[in-house]
Amino acid sequence: MNYDDNCIFCKIGRKEITSAIVYEDDEVLAFLDVNPVSKGHTLVVTKEHFKNFNEVPKNLISKVFSVAQMISQAQIMELHAAGCNILTNINEAAGQTVMHFHVHVIPRYDQTDGFNLDFTPKAIGTFNLPIVAGDLKKGLSVSYTHLRAHETRHDLV
């Protein structure tokens, strides 16, 4: 199992640093963020060290998101959150500060609870969407085949 001696989340996974754990199994750990943006803000991590979302094997991604769903449901049932944001940052450009994959599960109480996702949309036509979609499809290998099959099925309907 990958482990980084200098990684704070690896240390939490090995209980070398304490945290408020809310869920644990062999592969996944969920604990409260030490600097919560709202009450119950939880981080779900793989115990194994991966730098970010894009580096994690798909079977583990599924497990992490399955746990994130349970946490979100518990936040709404037990903390009486009105909603939840699920977020993972990839690389510094996206705000990642801890370079060990983690998913933020952020309960929302109302739109003035201190958390703000500021989407500023570009005007329609700023990007040529078919060209952008074409470029992205070039980057999909396995999924590309799936997309093409999906398009074909629509063509036939």
**Per CB under 6 A, does 86 bind ligand AMP?**
no
Instruction: Please state, in angstroms and rounded to a whole number, the distance separating the CA atoms of residues 83 and 79.
Output: 11
Establish if 33 lies at the interface with ligand AMP (CB under 6 A): yes
Helix (H, G, I), strand (E, B) or coil at 24: strand
> How are beta strands 83-87 and 102-108 bridged, if at all?
antiparallel
DSSP annotation of 47: S
Residues 98-117 that bind ligand AMP (CB under 6 A): 98
Shortest distance, position 152 Cβ to ligand AMP, whole Å: 39
Selected binder of ligand AMP within 48, 89, 90, 109 (CB under 6 A): 89
Q: Which of 19, 38, 46, 72 is in the footprint of ligand AMP by CB under 6 A? A: 19
Task: State how far the Cα of 154 lies from the Cα of 72, in Å rounded to an integer.
Answer: 34
CA distance 121 to 134: 21
Q: Which residues are known to be catalytic?
A: 102
Q: Which chain residues interact with ligand AMP by CB under 6 A? A: 8, 17, 19, 33-35, 43, 89, 95-98
